[in-house]
């Protein structure tokens, strides 16, 4: 990676108050970028963003709805960012069953609003639209999905994200052939890591139950997921952006999933957490209410070949970093030590796995 690339670059993150947005803010800060955020308030209490006062790392912390196209465009035009990471989304499959309309408006219309703003704003040289591994048509055949595979979307969340993929590519063909703005879509696996308080997230639920010795009920125990620490795809997004900024060759869609070896069953994640946190809690199983895919994995050989990106952490290391984070957070509530702890996790990862020019 080229450390100088990011210095003083104006970067707008939509969804900066969320789990991935918070980590991206800290990582970009460590590279010296000028960061602007556009999002609603954090959706949970507690949350990483407010709890760690991440506002201090932003030039501007804008709280607004991405569905408001006029305000979004005005904001982008005023900031004139060099780079945009579009992460704002209704990010939960379960919530999408309960509130399909808001999921569709936020995810699809929100993305269209970003694409429309990109059409008009000349400053942006690279834009990364964050979707998900759930965009693929998953027939449960234990297939490793490549970027060229059919898109699908069993549930509204997945369908909304697949729509973002299709629309981004329609916009690219229709409006960006001669533009200086290069756009890519990125699909990661199930991200884990500290600071995610979204409802029904297995690692957070396990951490809280085991730390406080409460029993936990999990659903889909045998579902196997491509778990990856949130740092890993984020470094992939950054590597891609450095290339995308200068070259149209990198326009298109990119998988940033973990190795298939990182696929672990939900029940094994819970058992690992219980062991690691030395808890007496019981793990109970509940009936699954909604459909969730049983097996999902990505083929990330394109990122490996063209970006020299790969998953570095073993699944146990990714889980350990995540459980350690929550343990540290709950042992140090009320002071701000978690922020230094998080920077330390980022620095250790950088030192261990990256060479910087
Ligand atoms: N967490 C994962 O495992 C994972 C995996 C694959 C893809 N993704 C994608 O990555 C992105 C970030 O995910 P996350 O886990 O950080 O989600 P999150 O729910 O923690 O954060 C979502 C962010 O979007 C903002 N937001 C939601 N609705 C908005 C609206 N109408 N207007 C403006 N802002 C709005 C929230 O305020 C928040 O900042 C999402 O696009 C998600 O679909 C997440």
From ligand 1's centre to the CA of 159, what distance in Å? 15
Alpha carbons 264 and 298: distance in angstroms, whole number: 14
From ligand 1's centre to the CA of 88, what distance in Å? 5
Q: Terminal CA-to-CA distance of the chain, rounded, Å?
A: 6
Question: Which pLDDT belongs to residue 219?
Answer: 85
By percentage, how much of the chain surpasses pLDDT 70?
98
Alpha carbons 62 and 13: distance in angstroms, whole number: 10
Of residues 119 and 220, more confidently modeled? 119
Of residues 292 and 124, more confidently modeled? 124
From ligand 1's centre to the CA of 339, what distance in Å? 21
Question: Which pLDDT belongs to residue 355?
Answer: 78
From ligand 1's centre to the CA of 40, what distance in Å? 10
Positive or negative, the CA dihedral 299, 85, 294, 211 is positive
* Structural domain containing residue 299: 3-353
The 3-state secondary structure of 275-331, one letter per residue: HHCCCCCCEEECCCCCCCCCECEECCHHHHHHHCCCCCCCHHHHHHHHHHHHHHHHH
DSSP letters, 78-108, are HH--SEEEE--S---HHHHHH-HHHHHIIII
Alpha carbons 39 and 65: distance in angstroms, whole number: 7
Question: Which pLDDT belongs to residue 287?
Answer: 75
What pLDDT digit, counting tens, does each position of 12-50 carry? Answer: 999 999 999 999 999 999 999 999 999 999 988 889 998
By percentage, how much of the chain surpasses pLDDT 90?
82
> Tokens 């620095």 belong to which residue?
347
Tell which one of 87, 234, 300 to mutate to probe ligand 1, the residue whose CB is within 8 A of the most ligand atoms: 87
Tell which one of 26, 84, 89 to mutate to probe ligand 1, the residue whose CB is within 8 A of the most ligand atoms: 89
Q: pLDDT band for position 294 (50/70/90)?
A: low
pLDDT over 90 (residue 264): no
Residues with C-beta less than 6 Å from any ligand 1 atom: 15-21, 39-40, 43, 65-67, 87-91, 106, 110, 130, 132, 188, 190-191, 198
Residue with the smallest CA separation from ligand 1 atom 20 is: 18
Alpha carbons 149 and 135: distance in angstroms, whole number: 10
Own/partner long-range contacts of 299-302 (Cβ < 8 Å, ≥24 apart): 299/144, 299/145, 299/146, 299/255, 299/257, 300/255, 300/256, 300/257, 301/146, 302/146, 302/147, 302/254, 302/255
Residue with the smallest CA separation from ligand 1 atom 22 is: 18
Cβ atoms of residues 220 and 270 within 8 Å = no
Q: What is the DSSP code (8-state) at residue 252?
A: E
User: Are β-strands 126-130 and 216-218 bridged in parallel, bridged antiparallel, or unpaired?
Assistant: unpaired
Tell which one of 91, 186, 234 to mutate to probe ligand 1, the residue whose CB is within 8 A of the most ligand atoms: 91
Question: Which pLDDT belongs to residue 273?
Answer: 96
From ligand 1's centre to the CA of 107, what distance in Å? 9
Q: pLDDT band for position 335 (50/70/90)?
A: confident
Of all atoms in ligand 1, which is nearest to the CA of residue 39?
34
Q: pLDDT band for position 226 (50/70/90)?
A: confident
From ligand 1's centre to the CA of 104, what distance in Å? 13
Tell which one of 12, 15, 193 to mutate to probe ligand 1, the residue whose CB is within 8 A of the most ligand atoms: 15
Question: Which pLDDT belongs to residue 241?
Answer: 98
Q: pLDDT band for position 246 (50/70/90)?
A: very high
User: Are β-strands 224-229 and 144-145 bridged in parallel, bridged antiparallel, or unpaired?
Assistant: unpaired
Question: Which pLDDT belongs to residue 115?
Answer: 98
Of all atoms in ligand 1, which is nearest to the CA of residue 105?
31
Q: How many domains does the chain fold into?
A: 1
Of all atoms in ligand 1, which is nearest to the CA of residue 41?
37
Overall average pLDDT of the 121-147 stretch: 93
Domain of 197, CATH number, reads 3.40.50.720
Overall average pLDDT of the 63-88 stretch: 98
Average pLDDT across the chain, whole number: 94
Of all atoms in ligand 1, which is nearest to the CA of residue 88?
24
Question: Which pLDDT belongs to residue 101?
Answer: 98
Nearest CA to 66 out of 87, 95, 93 is that of: 87
Q: What is the DSSP code (8-state) at residue 249?
A: G
Length of the chain (residues):
357
From ligand 1's centre to the CA of 357, what distance in Å? 31
Q: Which residues pair with 254 in a beta bridge?
A: 186
């Amino acid at each position: 990676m080229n450390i100088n690339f990011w210095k003083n670059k104006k970067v707008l993150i939509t969804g900066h108050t969320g789990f991935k947005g918070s980590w991206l803010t800290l990582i970009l800060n460590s590279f010296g970028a000028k960061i602007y955020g556009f999002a609603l308030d954090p959706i949970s209490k507690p949350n990483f963003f407010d709890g760690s006062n991440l506002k201090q790392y932003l030039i501007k912390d804008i709280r607004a709805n991405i569905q408001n196209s006029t305000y979004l465009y005005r904001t982008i035009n005023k900031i004139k960012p060099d780079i945009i990471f579009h992460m704002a989304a209704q990010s939960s499959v379960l919530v999408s069953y309960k509130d399909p309309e808001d999921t569709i408006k936020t995810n699809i219309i929100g993305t269209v609003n970003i694409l429309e703003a990109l059409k008009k704003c000349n400053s942006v040289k690279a834009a990364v639209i964050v979707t998900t591994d759930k965009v693929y048509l998953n027939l449960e055949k234990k297939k490793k999905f490549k970027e060229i595979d059919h898109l699908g979307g069993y549930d509204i969340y997945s369908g909304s994200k697949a729509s973002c993929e299709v629309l981004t590519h329609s916009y690219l063909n229709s409006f960006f052939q001669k533009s200086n703005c290069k756009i890519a879509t990125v699909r990661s696996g199930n991200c884990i890591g500290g600071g995610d308080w979204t409802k029904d997230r297995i690692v957070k639920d396990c951490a809280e139950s085991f730390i406080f010795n409460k029993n936990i009920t999990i659903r889909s125990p045998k579902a196997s997921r491509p778990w990856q620490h949130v740092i890993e795809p984020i470094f992939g997004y950054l590597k891609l952006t450095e290339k995308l900024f200068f070259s149209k060759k990198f326009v298109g869609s990119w998988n940033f999933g973990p190795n298939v070896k990182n696929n672990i069953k939900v029940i094994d994640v819970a058992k690992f957490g219980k062991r690691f946190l030395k808890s007496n809690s019981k793990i109970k199983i509940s009936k699954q209410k909604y459909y969730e895919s049983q097996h999902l994995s990505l083929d990330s050989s394109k990122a490996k070949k063209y970006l020299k990106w790969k998953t570095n952490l073993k699944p146990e290391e990714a889980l350990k970093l995540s459980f350690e984070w929550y343990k540290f957070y709950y042992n140090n509530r009320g002071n701000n030590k978690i922020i230094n702890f998080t920077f330390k996790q980022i620095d250790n990862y950088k030192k261990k796995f990256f060479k910087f020019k």
